[in-house]
Structure 1
Amino acid sequence: MATRHSVDECLEQCQSAIDYAQEQYKDAARQEHNNAGNFSKSQLMLEDAYHELDKLLLSANEQQREQLHRMRLQLQQMQNSMILLGP
């Protein structure tokens, strides 16, 4: 079973990745991808967070799965937004 601490850490990592990606998304939209390196880095951070979340889902209880699922939807939404903006 996943510990509360591990779930909290995962959720924090996911939120940090989303926050960073949102910053890069805004910058990319304004600058027309002059900073493609950070944009790509933020996409990788989202992907890494998504994979960590998936691993944790395997050992989570029902309440934890619900929290993780909501975060997964937020990650997917940010990933989709970044793909649509694309370099």
Structure 2
Amino acid sequence: MATRDSMNNLMQQVEDTIRYAEEQYKQSSLQEQYNDDNYTTALQQLEETYQDIAKMALSANSQQREQLHRMRLQLQQLQNSMILEEL
């Protein structure tokens, strides 16, 4: 079972990553030209956080896995939106 602290730390990481990625996504939609470096960094952070969630799920109980699954879905949805915006 994943510890409460490790779950809380991961949840904070997910929130921070989503906040940063959403900020970059909004900035890119407001500007014709967006900051490629920050946008790319946001996408990389989303992927890294997604991988961290997958690792945590290996040691999580069923309730924690459900919570991790919801977080993964949030990350995937934002990641997909950002990739489609890039095209």
2:15 maps to amino acid: Q
Superposed CA RMSD in Å reads 1.0
CA distance in structure 2 between the aligned counterparts of 1:9 and 1:35, rounded to whole angstroms:
29
Residue 23 in structure 1 maps to residue 23 in structure 2? yes
Regions of 4+ moved over 6 Å? none
SS of the equivalent of 2:63 reads helix
Pairwise CA distance, 1:11 = 1.2
Partner of 1:9: 9
Partner of 1:68: 68
CA distance in structure 2 between the aligned counterparts of 1:33 and 1:42, rounded to whole angstroms:
16
TM-score, normalised with respect to structure 1: 0.95
Sequence identity, in percent? Answer: 53
TM-score, normalised with respect to structure 2: 0.95
1:19-58 Cα distance to aligned partner (Å, 9 max, x none) = 1000000001111233111000100110110000000000
CA distance in structure 2 between the aligned counterparts of 1:86 and 1:7, rounded to whole angstroms:
32
| Structure 1, unpaired ranges of 5+ | none
SS of the equivalent of 1:2 reads coil
